Amino acid sequence: MTNSIDIYVGSRLRRRRRLLGLTQANLGEQVGIRFQQIQKYECAANRISASRLFDLSEALHVPVQYFYDGLSDKDAANDSEALPSDVLSQRETMELVRAYYSLGEEPRRRLLDLAKAMAFPS
C-alpha cells in the first residue's frame, strides 16, 4: 500500500530527473533498471529500497537526504505564499529553470527583478 512518504520520495525523484533533463530511460540505464521501474518509483506504485535509493542519488548527483528534504516541513507550508505542490515537477517549470541558469549573472538578476515586479506589482 502506498503512503505519503513514498509519494513524496517519488515526486522528488521525478523533479530531480527532470531538472537534469534526463528521461526515465536515461536514468534507468544509469542504475541498471528499465524505465518502467523508474515510472513505478515516481508514481509510488513501487517503493524504493535503500540500496536503489543510494544508486539513484549517485546517478542524480544528490545526497540520499535530498529525497526526504522538506518532508517534515511539508504540512507546515500551508500558508498563502506556498507554491502548489506539483509546480516544481511540471515540464514548463524545469524548462524555465534550465533557461534561467543558462543566462549570465547580470541577465539572470534583471530577469528575476522583472518577474518579481510582474508578480508583486506595487
**Residues 66, 97 share a domain:** no
**Residues 95, 74 share a domain:** no
Going by C-alpha positions, the residue among 43, 23, 44 that lies closest to residue 34 is 23
Question: CA 22, 29, 66, 5 torsion: positive or negative?
Answer: positive
pLDDT of res. 95 = 87
Assigned domain for 85 exists: no
pLDDT of res. 97 = 86
Assigned domain for 84 exists: no
**Residues 54, 24 share a domain:** yes
Name the domain count of the chain: 2
Q: Distance between the two ends of the chain, CA-based, in angstroms?
A: 48
Q: CATH number of the domain at 55, please.
A: 1.10.260.40
**Residues 68, 94 share a domain:** no
Identify whether the C-beta of residue 64 lies closer than 8 Å to the C-beta of residue 53: yes
**Residues 57, 11 share a domain:** yes
**Residues 99, 63 share a domain:** no
**Residues 20, 59 share a domain:** yes
pLDDT of res. 83 = 55
**Residues 106, 73 share a domain:** no
Per residue of the chain (122 residues), give pLDDT as tens.
Answer: 668 899 999 999 999 999 999 999 999 999 999 999 999 999 999 999 999 999 999 999 999 999 999 887 544 344 334 456 667 667 888 888 888 989 999 999 999 889 888 887 76
**Residues 22, 66 share a domain:** yes
Identify whether the C-beta of residue 84 lies closer than 8 Å to the C-beta of residue 11: no
Range of the domain at 113: 90-122
**Residues 58, 13 share a domain:** yes
pLDDT digits (tens, 9 = 90+) for 55-84: 999 999 999 999 999 887 544 344 334 456
